[in-house]
Amino acid sequence: MADALLAARGLVVSYGRPSGWLGRGVSAPVVLHGVDIAIGKGETVGIVGESGSGKTTLGRSLLGLVAPAAGTVVFDGNDITTLDERARRPLRRRMQMMFQDPMSSLNPRHTIGQILTAPILLHGLAANRAAALTLVYGVLDRVGLARHTIERYSFELSGGQRQRVSIARAVVLRPDFVLADEIVSGLDVSTQAQVLRLLKELTSEMHLALAFISHDLSVIRSICQRVVVMREGRIVEQGSCQEVFAVPQSAHTRMLIDAIPLPTVDPGWLGRSGTETAATI
């Protein structure tokens, strides 16, 4: 893609070190086998796969949270694969992340006000606390949280409110890229609908690029322009949602789509086995 904001080439990631005598013998388990991915400015890309497919590792290596064994990551024209912490710091504002479980990503000892103002001050987006608070009020209004939420702690909020706080924390820094890792999987369907709508609006208003990791293809279809399907550390298919859902090229994609239970009665559905293999579960 010509105007890719974020592009990875040949990403290989393995966890742990080689075991065995003097590090020889058994090699470290490889979780990404040479992955190529590009995300354009303002584009929302879904990354889907089953547990163990490498989708979370791919997301983390795009942000530099996991060091790849091989391959490059280029952000806005700069190779960021091997940047040290100091060189990476200016990028941190421009690349944000939202997690599955805000209970564990929001500090329970800090008020929501502290959680939202700290990164603004850290990155110098406001000269002082009062100015930072003005930005915080603006973002709270935008994500649909009352301003007095700043006095609350994360455990006092509902799941949907907590996820709005993580969205607020990410977008208040005016990033160019946000990684969202399974951010709606713990939510009720009505709350999920609200959070996804908000995310869709924000990405288009802010021209924000979003990598949206999910196991749920229906969710991906509803908010993403493109989708990347992963299996066992490899991309098995990628393309526009429209094409991939209409005519999936890979048998694995077809199997994932066929396995989604739609809320309609279809007596034959359970009996259709698709191409799944019983042995692997």
Residues that bind other proteins (CB under 8 A): 50-51, 188-190, 192-194, 196-197, 215-222, 241, 245, 255-266, 269-271, 273, 276, 278-279, 281
Nearest distance from C-beta of residue 266 to other proteins, angstroms: 7
Nearest distance from C-beta of residue 135 to other proteins, angstroms: 26
Nearest distance from C-beta of residue 118 to other proteins, angstroms: 30
End-to-end C-alpha distance for the chain, whole angstroms: 36
Q: Which is nearer to other proteins, 26 or 246 (CB)?
A: 246
Q: Which is nearer to other proteins, 67 or 260 (CB)?
A: 260
Nearest distance from C-beta of residue 48 to other proteins, angstroms: 10
Task: Write phi, then psi, for 235 (nearest 5 degrees).
Answer: -85, 120
What tokens appear for 90 in the block?
A: 């200016």
CA distance 80 to 103: 30
Q: Which is nearer to other proteins, 130 or 262 (CB)?
A: 262
| CA atoms within 13 Å, Cβ hemisphere of 248 | 16
CA distance 194 to 162: 13
Residue corresponding to tokens 């502290």: 114
Q: Which is nearer to other proteins, 117 or 161 (CB)?
A: 161
CA distance 89 to 83: 9
